[in-house]
Amino acid sequence: MFQASLVRSAVNTLSISLRWHSTRMAVRIEKDSFGDIEVPSDKLYGANTARSLRNFPIGDHRDVMPLEVVRSLALLKKAAAQVNRNFGLDPAIADLVTKAAQEVYDGVLDDHFPLVVWQTGSGTQTNMNVNEVISNRAIQMAGGELGSKHPVHPNDHVNMSQSSNDTFPTAMHLAIALECNNHLLAALGKMRDSLQRKADQFEGIIKIGRTHTQDATPVALSQEFSGYVQQMSNAVARIEAALPRIFELAAGGTAVGTGLNTRVGFAEKVAATLAEYTGLPFVTAPNKFEALAASDALVEFHGALNAAAVSINKIANDIRFLASGPRCGIGELILPENEPGSSIMPGKVNPTQCESITMIAAQVMGNNVAVTFGGSQGHFELNVFRPMMVNCVLQSIRLLGDGCRSFTDNCIDGIEANKERISALLNESLMLVTCLNSRIGYDKACSIAKHAHKNNLTLKEAALQLQYLSEEEFDAWVRPELMIAPAP
């Protein structure tokens, strides 16, 4: 109830703030199909955006539509203007739209995009927010009057040959592909490469393995880390395998996938233009009905992010448990000491980087649930959970990218092996007895392990007491370095 009260308080505060601004700030009057509405004079957005601010007073600055989506929409508007020039759009208007859209893409006009994620599920209000800002900025460039829709109209010119139903999913795919290629893949690769360096560094260090969190047979520390390397390589491969569907763009499908109000070749030319702008292999979606009605590509892509989060969570947990201590834990690894760990326990240092990235993994897994449910909400010709879905995907990309960089720089790169502790634990393990299965049989080997454990003996002492083998045989056969690979 307390949380609900806070939400209501925030909503009321935002509503009061909006009303106060509408009465205190200088305004101009703009029109849409519902009539006149006041718009702040210093803002480039128009009636559709102002009406959305009134209708969706939800959340705060943390809930604003990601700028990556806004800028991707602007890039699409720029591409559409250039293509539409070949289909009858006045070249002068096309140039104005192109220049204004470029300013949006460059981040010059970020303050003019106030709408929250929690709006119409098609993203129509954000599409119109971008249309209005580009239109009014183009009007400014032409020396016209803001809100006049002359000489550049937000619908007739900026949104020419487009619908929110195809522009928003196109912008989603653009934003995800750009963020993935510019931010995430390099970070995952950085973490993988650091783990590989550690695997190389730890070559020749043999330790006890663990299954079910209990002692198992020996394994090389380098082998253990090679598993982490493979997990990260697989994570990159899964994401790259999902990208081809992200590179498919809905632009040209317009309202329901039929391409109404476009021209033959528009969709292909827009995709080719965006590929030229970004250097990424964007293509027009082969079936616009699927591209509008479903968001399966995002579900698939985030599924790959979810798998990466699962892998990273396992790696980080292994590292923090292997480094537990320093006196009373496993203590096989030594982690960098980055900051004080306790406000009450002097000298305590904690595995904070492991904790940070496992929290990130938990958030990504939560996002995966939301994206999965959102993807299931494709009713008839249109999915209507898209703003939420793209918000979750972009957050996961950002968190995984930043988290992997931080984890690599502040933890993995500085990990050292505690060779003395590793050797002590290895030689105390009862599971070294496993190598005797092929020599004296499973049952006798089991008797040795149980006798040693019950009587607090070493394996060697137990084996000799039970007279299952000689001291020379034990020393020749129970050698950890021979237990980490198949016999020749």
User: Would you say residue 82 has pLDDT above 70?
Assistant: yes
pLDDT on residue 306: 98
DSSP tag of 66: P
Strand ranges for 17-126 from DSSP E: 27-32, 35-40
- 62 contacts: CB under 8 Å, gap ≥ 6: none
Q: Is the peptide bond before 151 cis (omega within 30 degrees of 0)?
A: yes
User: Would you say residue 9 has pLDDT above 80?
Assistant: no
| pLDDT one-digit tens code per residue, 366-393 | 999 999 999 999 999 999 999 999 999 9
Query: pLDDT tier at 6 (50, 70, 90 boundaries)?
Result: very low
Q: How much of the chain, in percent, has pLDDT values that exceed 90? A: 95
d(CA 488, CA 485): 9
| pLDDT one-digit tens code per residue, 156-172 | 999 999 999 999 999 99
Tell me the average pLDDT across 57-65: 97
Contact criterion met (CB below 8 Å) for 161 and 87:
yes
Query: pLDDT tier at 12 (50, 70, 90 boundaries)?
Result: low
Q: What is the pTM of this model?
A: 0.93
Amino acid identity, position 198: K
Enumerate the active-site residues: 212, 342
Tell me the average pLDDT across 170-190: 98
| pLDDT, the chain, mean | 95
Tell me the average pLDDT across 208-234: 98
| pLDDT one-digit tens code per residue, 326-357 | 999 999 999 999 999 999 999 999 999 999 99
User: Would you say residue 19 has pLDDT above 90?
Assistant: no
The encoded tokens of residue 154 equal 């937000």
